[in-house]
Amino acid sequence: MATLESPVSITTGDTEVSAVYARPTSPFATLVVAHGAGTGMDHPFLAGFTRALNAESVATLRFNFPYREAGKKFPDKPPAAIATWRAAMEEAAARSAGEPLWAAGKSFGGRMASMAVAEGMAAAGLVYLGYPLHPPGKPEKLRDEHLYGLTLPMLFLQGTRDPFATPELLEAVVARIGSSATLEWRQGGGHTFDVAGLKRPPEEVGASLADAVAEFLKVRS
């Protein structure tokens, strides 16, 4: 039986953003999930991902950033995105029964989560669904400095064809972070984990990542 999803409204600053909360029976962890720069929380990839996690006994809260809520195309600046992350984590904590609270995000959402943690936001760990290490074609512009001060568990799930993360560069970053970071490659995967020649609906692609994430959380929760 599918876990019931409940609509939630989260106040951040002087605005409110939409969220969806789902809590299976006796979850061992809660994962708060943010969308990427070009999508929202209801994208089939994220919906498929969180619903598959619910089936693995993980509670989830996925939410919109303010720009997406307002129908704008360009992502919020880090201060606004980080404030939204804090509000979302507080909302998830209020709905939990004390289980570990993790932060995850697709691309931009994951990077903002890591920046929020670097600025003091509490989390049991971080999960990156395609970390945007650098802009496509600009490997010299790394977005990595804040990662080296983080000591909590981190899982990097990354496609080998992702133009936002040259494999050797990401491997070097993860190695520099140290034993707290784990990197798992998805062979042939692009930035949306699409694989050339393999047609799958986005909800199925998102769901395919849930097992690895649930196992990572279970071992470290």
Mean pLDDT of the residues in the chain: 97
Q: Strand pairing partners for 18?
A: 9
Average pLDDT over residues 87-107: 97
pTM of the model: 0.97
**Cα dihedral sign, 102-106-107-108:** negative
Report pLDDT digits (tens) over 56-95.
999 999 999 999 999 999 999 999 999 999 999 999 999 9
What is the rounded CA–CA span in Å between residue 11 and residue 110? 20
pLDDT at site 197: 85
pLDDT at res. 1: 73
**Helix 108-118 crosses helix 78-95 at what angle (to 10 degrees)?**
80
Q: 157 by DSSP, 3-state: which? A: strand
Q: Which two tokens stand for residue 30?
A: 């809660």
Give the Cα separation of 49 and 70 in Å (integer): 24
Q: At residue 164, does pLDDT exceed 90?
A: yes
> Which pLDDT score, from 0 to 100, does residue 27 have?
97
- What token pair was written down for 71? 């129908």
Please report the domains of the chain, with CATH numbers, ordered by start residue. Answer: 5-220 (3.40.50.1820)
